[in-house]
Structure 1
Amino acid sequence: MQSKTQNLKTKIVPPPLKPGDLLRVISPSGALREFEAFQKGVEIWRSRGYRVELFPEIDDKWGYLAGKDESRREQLATAWQEPECRGVLCTRGGFGSSRILENWTWQNLENSAPKWLIGFSDITALLWSLYTAGISGVHGSVLTTLACEPDWSIQRLFDCVEGRPLAPLKGCGWGGGVVNGIVLPGNLTVATHLLGTPMLPDLDGVILALEDVTEAPYRIDRMLTQWRMSSVLSKVSGIALGSFSRCEPPANVPSFSVEEVLRDRLGDLKIPIVSNLPFGHDAPNAALPVGVTVELDADQGILNIL
């Protein structure tokens, strides 16, 4: 078994949350549609003793977006700059967060304690942008998906933001030894569209943790081929793959399976890889902190937060 350790650049982790803290809810991406699921997600946070406050614009619609870019950008800026606010919860994914990152800077980083930013899917763009500013967030359930999570996954999210240790995640090891690195979790499609932009973090020594949903195998192939041709995969130390749910090929069309595509496009990189880890779209979506040190054991198939 090969063991490998990279030089690590840890990020600032926000102070642990505690019941009574104020959390702001924002809609930075797609228009809110799943109102019952959303209310259930809000209630889970409130049942834990948190003060959860919504912006009046939370259910605005502008086409497929949750309001115009200026409105969604203002929600994020207001929540981020509010001194009493300790965390920012996202309603849902969809598309749109990258639009509000145009000409965006994370304001008042020096003048206030870092806040938790929690979400996944399209929220990947915000999480990775925040990571480039030196702050760790949480790749975890948005409010419209939280109530669908099993109890252990919900508890893991609260363990993550309240400062308790996180249990290792078990998947399928592809071999290649053990590596330590900074974990960078996100949605493959959203992350692919950050290639070549200032929002793409430095990937030297990073362990990429990727997932996706409703993408046909040829589209996964196309995205991973772009990653290969951009040469950024040569920088990463390991890859942790979550669920690629509802990524079946179209009926009666010749195709590889998504598992075959992942093996074909990633299997020759000669780095530790673990697949089938329990995070991503469709429960369970185990919370993963962004920018913290992890150990990826590709022989045993384990991702461990250190």
Structure 2
Amino acid sequence: MDRRLFIGTAALAGLLLPLAGGGRAIASPAGRLLPVALKRGDTVALVSPSSQVDDSFNLQLAREVMEALGFKVRTGANYAARRGHLAGSDAGRADDINAAFADRDVKAVICVRGGSGAARLLPLLDYGVIRANPKALLGYSDITALHNAIHAQTGLVTFHGPNGSGSWNSFNADQFRRLFFKRELMQYRNVADAGDELVPRKNRTVTITGGKVRGELVGGNLAVLTALAGSPYLPDFRGKILFLEDVEEAPYRVDRMFSTLKLMGALDQIAGFIFGECTDCNPGDGYGSLTLQEILDDYILPLGIPAYRGAMIGHIRQQFILPVGGRVELDADAGSFRLLEPVFQS
């Protein structure tokens, strides 16, 4: 998919950034910053940080979804722009995000889609403005770059979940209302789906190492996260609970990315681990392939920390909305985790 085309460039840029002295990166903050609470009737901004949509009708659908949730909608000046596969120039896409955070009438920033290109914006974001105007950011996949950079640079809790043009089925919409409007301390447990099977097969979780642990969530898309290695846009992994997902990655590439996390020291610092879905991560032609289970056994099992796989996180129709930076308790034996503290300002 198009996200993959950018990984090599992003990783190189991340390694050079600390030496270049450019951009507006600032020292990592000491603590968390909670976004303002949302209510029906508030104004939200739709932005396009990554790839352009294949059909402009999806822009209309994203607006209609936000309106159906009860919001007024504003769009960035570059919202429908296009440059190659990207939704406009880097400067234009970054300006829309900066403007959305600076606009006092806007209470949340919703990303239209993922794809590729969000990491190009990280040196162009105004983290001082974002810190001074804390508000919810929602999206997933390539938006992982924004979640990690904003959390690392400002401490702001952001939300890994459906993009504006994605599926807003009843599960996702209900979860959004419970988390954003009712501000529930959510329990994240897979939906049971026995279907026509005597023993359920769908939405099953598998314990890697049992136990319970508490910590703050960090993570997102595996490929996008590892492409930030060596940059100032990754959070502190010490004592955190790492969640990961991916799509259309061959197992040998998944293995390589876990190796990167191991070599950079991230895996040795985390307190817990949750793996979602690796959708269409099938081996290609050749002599054989490691399985996903073998990869997790190689990198996660030796850590001896509470860990499980199969969570409803990733490129799937029904997906959890996760607060990046939110404090949770993970129960690896039960294959679930729960919020311990509010993730919005009171």
What residue is the counterpart of 1:79 in the other structure? 100
Kindly indicate whether the alpha-carbon contact (under 8 Å) linking 1:77 and 1:107 is maintained by their aligned counterparts in 2.
no
Change (3 A) 1:111 1:199: closer
2:143 aligned to which of 109, 123, 131: 123
Are 1:175 and 2:209 an aligned pair?
yes
1:89-139 CA deviation, whole Å, 9 max, x = no partner? Answer: 111111111111125331335644x11100011111111111121110100
User: 1:43: how far off?
Assistant: 1.5
Kindly indicate whether the alpha-carbon contact (under 8 Å) linking 1:172 and 1:300 is maintained by their aligned counterparts in 2.
no
Are 1:202 and 2:236 an aligned pair?
yes
Change (3 A) 1:109 1:145: closer
1:46-77 CA deviation, whole Å, 9 max, x = no partner? Answer: 01220012224222111111111111111111
User: 1:144: how far off?
Assistant: 1.9
User: 1:37: how far off?
Assistant: 4.1
> Where do 4+ consecutive residues of structure 1 move more than 6 Å?
none
Q: Show the 5 A alignment for 1:202-241.
A: 202-241=236-275
Change (3 A) 1:139 1:34: farther
What residue is the counterpart of 1:22 in the other structure? 43
Query: What TM-score, normalized to structure 1?
Result: 0.91
Are 1:156 and 2:167 an aligned pair?
no
2:291 aligned to which of 224, 242, 257: 257
1:297 aligned to which of 317, 328, 331: 331
SS of corresponding position for 1:138: strand
Of all paired residues, the percent bearing the same amino acid is: 33
1:203 corresponds to which letter in structure 2? F
What residue is the counterpart of 1:165 in the other structure? 185
Kindly indicate whether the alpha-carbon contact (under 8 Å) linking 1:13 and 1:135 is maintained by their aligned counterparts in 2.
yes
Kindly indicate whether the alpha-carbon contact (under 8 Å) linking 1:278 and 1:284 is maintained by their aligned counterparts in 2.
yes
* Unaligned 5+ runs, structure 1: 1-8
**Aligned mates of 1:219, 1:49 — CA distance in 2:** 41
Kindly indicate whether the alpha-carbon contact (under 8 Å) linking 2:247 and 2:278 is maintained by their aligned counterparts in 1.
yes
User: 1:258: how far off?
Assistant: 2.5
**Aligned mates of 1:35, 1:103 — CA distance in 2:** 26
1:73 corresponds to which letter in structure 2? A
Change (3 A) 1:62 1:21: same
**Aligned mates of 1:11, 1:214 — CA distance in 2:** 33
User: 1:252: how far off?
Assistant: 5.8
User: 1:265: how far off?
Assistant: 2.5
What residue is the counterpart of 1:137 in the other structure? 158
* Unaligned 5+ runs, structure 2: 1-29, 191-204, 341-346
Count of residues paired in the alignment: 295
Change (3 A) 1:10 1:180: farther
2:318 corresponds to which letter in structure 1? P
SS of corresponding position for 1:161: helix
2:318 aligned to which of 284, 289, 294: 284
What residue is the counterpart of 2:308 in the other structure? 274
1:13 aligned to which of 34, 38, 45: 34
User: 1:161: how far off?
Assistant: 2.1
Change (3 A) 1:204 1:196: same
User: 1:202: how far off?
Assistant: 0.6
**Aligned mates of 1:295, 1:224 — CA distance in 2:** 24
What residue is the counterpart of 1:6 in the other structure? none
Are 1:65 and 2:86 an aligned pair?
yes
Change (3 A) 1:268 1:274: same
1:248-274 CA deviation, whole Å, 9 max, x = no partner? Answer: 112565112233322333221111111
What residue is the counterpart of 2:5 in the other structure? none
**Aligned mates of 1:104, 1:76 — CA distance in 2:** 8
**Aligned mates of 1:44, 1:71 — CA distance in 2:** 24
Are 1:188 and 2:208 an aligned pair?
no
1:203-242 CA deviation, whole Å, 9 max, x = no partner? Answer: 1100001000000000000000111112221110011111
1:118 corresponds to which letter in structure 2? L
Kindly indicate whether the alpha-carbon contact (under 8 Å) linking 1:174 and 1:301 is maintained by their aligned counterparts in 2.
no
User: 1:198: how far off?
Assistant: 0.2
Are 1:96 and 2:117 an aligned pair?
yes
Change (3 A) 1:52 1:194: same
Kindly indicate whether the alpha-carbon contact (under 8 Å) linking 1:146 and 1:154 is maintained by their aligned counterparts in 2.
no
Kindly indicate whether the alpha-carbon contact (under 8 Å) linking 1:173 and 1:299 is maintained by their aligned counterparts in 2.
yes
User: 1:83: how far off?
Assistant: 0.8
The worse-fitting range, judged by mean Cα deviation, of 152-161 and 132-141 is: 152-161
